[in-house]
Structure 1
């Protein structure tokens, strides 16, 4: 008898000795279900003796542990050493792979969002895409961690993804892996007085970067700000709290509830609010998840910002990474978070205040619509000479991004309304 089988039989005997009730519903706390334990031991023995190839006990136990976690929800997972190191790298902002955040849906791997300036984003991978094959290997039934491990790899190597988008025909995309260095915060001025702040992912240093960026933007006259959280898959909870705190002077930001006492937490805003009273429009879409939804929900509930775009992803659960022995880890869902007004985002998401679908503004469309007096036959000419022609500025992001264009238009309207006496 092996040590593994002996251990299981000891557990079974101990549970039998402590048994008081026979049904799962009436089992005392901490008592193991006898029938399921017997079944587990029987299945283990059948595999060890009858499976076509020998399987060592360690592999069977690893598979059993993996199955326990994968059967809970799409976000809980058993992390083997490589996956555990990869998760730690991703929260620090540098890791190898394709630059894609994924989940599971109907047994397939689903894209939550591509990360900006990565192979996945440059190849046109979109939130909501279903990955049905990885290098001709079907993903149906593949665990999420196995899929992530397969997509990671040495920089410079290639992998082919077979994708289904919006129930269309499958198509293939070949991607070359790269070292992913994520710049979580980017900013620029859209128009004079109107700023743009993009958060691609919530990392350990994101909140500090946002505060510094806000101070830089406010060094000039800042009339309004677009906070872009589209295709932001989330990240570190504390970073989301810090970002929301940069826009709120008081009140609750988010609270969590779970079975463990330390999983019930409340995060409140402080008086440190570098954004001041600047009007804010938050952009979200189906790729905005988790920490991004925390920020959008907090600013929406407090009336601090207008949320614009499309419904967010709907991931309202908190995962805790628990280190295990032998360089392994456990990613376990331990709590559900709620917005200040008590809304659970889980499986529902943030609904924008103003719905604006994704579209692209093109120069051709603008030119067709822009019929002016000077285009009419026989128009009167100016009595003064025209000013010298000015070279066109380089293309601005709002010139091609419809959602961003609408956000900027709303900000200008808010500024004009507030400026009137």
Structure 2
């Protein structure tokens, strides 16, 4: 009798378990179904709205519609509309240029330029050795007023100017060049490969190592190590790392550079959308043996901020300058699409070794070095000897080293 009761109870328990499992499965399935239906309905609304606008425009628009331009603008608008201020859409042409530049198939003429606010032209702020521009004896402080007959006043974005200066090796770009003393020349520059170093360095005041990191790229890690070693071999007693205007494109390069300066420990981590935290890099025991200062400004961003923040928190470095951009995110690799275009989006938030982030509010310097309006107007005329922000950074570095 007891056996029959036990079998009955077991059967009942099994039925109850099956019923509970079925109910749970139905609940989960219904939630998934409702989510899918909601997603489908949202997409349907998007497509219907675009379809309505398209029908109206094509039936009534007077001007000719360029479908390629329209599609690119729609795609760019989508990326703009996701409220990710760091996301970027590349047209097929822009993405092709990016890949060609990364592989060395496309090169510029050997200059870095900015839009000069007073003249509206492209002002040369950096010249690369052994480049077409160097061979043609262009100078820092000169202006490029036209590229292949198009005035640079029409190219309001620096990226548009750089794009116009690109060409394959052996091809020619014609520029109109205005020397610093305002002599105009027309030059035909033949594109050739040249090195674009991301780091420069020198010794200031005999004992201060000055190292400027213009950008973080795939070559910066090795360049940075070589520069630090050279300065240390010169027996400098303190270091200034100039990160002004460094927008921090390559995260890994900044981590490698920071690792070379810092004692062992976690440098930074990434927080994902689901809250998961992933360590990005642990520093080894190799560390900078002299005190350091990081010089930053409002255009110091991304991995350049990571570098400065890590040196302050883990290496007791001082930050001199002005509050940084506040870009503390991790970007995806470019996702290419069927038409050759591509997009990058934010996939995580950067955190320092204490789990804190500087995203949206930036890094506040320990020593303020705000430029006056007159100094801002002369920003690109300064040298390492006359730059007031470098002077403050050097003074802070000397104080740390007991040289003041």
Q: Determine the C-alpha separation between the residues in 1 that align with 2:231 and 2:213.
A: 15
Q: Which residue of 2 aligns with 1:311?
A: 323
Q: Which moved more, 1:55-64 or 1:347-356?
A: 55-64
Write 1 or 2 for the structure with the bigger share of helix: 2
Q: Which residue of 2 aligns with 1:6?
A: none
Q: Which moved more, 1:82-91 or 1:144-153?
A: 144-153
The alpha-carbon deviation at position 413 of structure 1 amounts to: 2.4
CA contact (8 A) 1:248 1:304 kept: no
CA contact (8 A) 1:189 1:196 kept: yes
Q: How many residues align?
A: 329
Confirm or deny that 1:87 pairs with 2:123.
Answer: no
- For normalisation by structure 1, the TM-score amounts to 0.64
1:154-189 Cα distance to aligned partner (Å, 9 max, x none):
6754599xxxxxxxxxxxxx9999879531011111
Which residue of 322, 347, 361 maps to 1:334?
347
1:1-59 Cα distance to aligned partner (Å, 9 max, x none):
xxxxxxxxxxxxxxxxxx987xxx99645653443332222112222332224547655
- How do residues 146-295 of structure 1 correspond to structure 2 at under 5 angstroms? 147=160, 152-153=165-166, 156-157=173-174, 182-259=196-273, 265-271=278-284, 273=286, 275=288, 277-295=289-307
The alpha-carbon deviation at position 407 of structure 1 amounts to: 2.1
Q: Determine the C-alpha separation between the residues in 2 that align with 1:311 and 1:121.
A: 31
Confirm or deny that 1:415 pairs with 2:375.
Answer: no
1:342-378 Cα distance to aligned partner (Å, 9 max, x none):
3333332211111122379x9xxxxxxxxxxxxxxxx
1:197-237 Cα distance to aligned partner (Å, 9 max, x none):
11111110101111122222222423111111112122211
CA contact (8 A) 2:264 2:282 kept: yes
1:231-279 Cα distance to aligned partner (Å, 9 max, x none):
2122211101111111112222222233389x9642233225252x211
Which residue of 75, 78, 86 maps to 1:65?
75
Q: Determine the C-alpha separation between the residues in 2 that align with 1:280 and 1:85.
A: 40
CA contact (8 A) 1:193 1:224 kept: yes
1:82-110 Cα distance to aligned partner (Å, 9 max, x none):
311333456678843773589xxxxxxxx
The alpha-carbon deviation at position 116 of structure 1 amounts to: 3.9
User: SS at 2:76's partner residue?
Assistant: helix
- Which of structures 1 and 2 has the bigger CA Rg? 2
After superposition, the CA RMSD in angstroms is 4.4
**Which sections of structure 1, spanning at least 5 residues, go unmatched?**
1-18, 103-110, 126-133, 161-173, 363-395
The alpha-carbon deviation at position 417 of structure 1 amounts to: 7.8
Q: Determine the C-alpha separation between the residues in 2 that align with 1:55 and 1:274.
A: 59
Confirm or deny that 1:302 pairs with 2:314.
Answer: yes
User: SS at 1:197's partner residue?
Assistant: strand
- For normalisation by structure 2, the TM-score amounts to 0.66
Q: Determine the C-alpha separation between the residues in 1 that align with 2:195 and 2:372.
A: 28
Q: Which residue of 2 aligns with 1:344?
A: 357
Q: Determine the C-alpha separation between the residues in 2 that align with 1:54 and 1:335.
A: 42
CA contact (8 A) 1:308 1:356 kept: yes
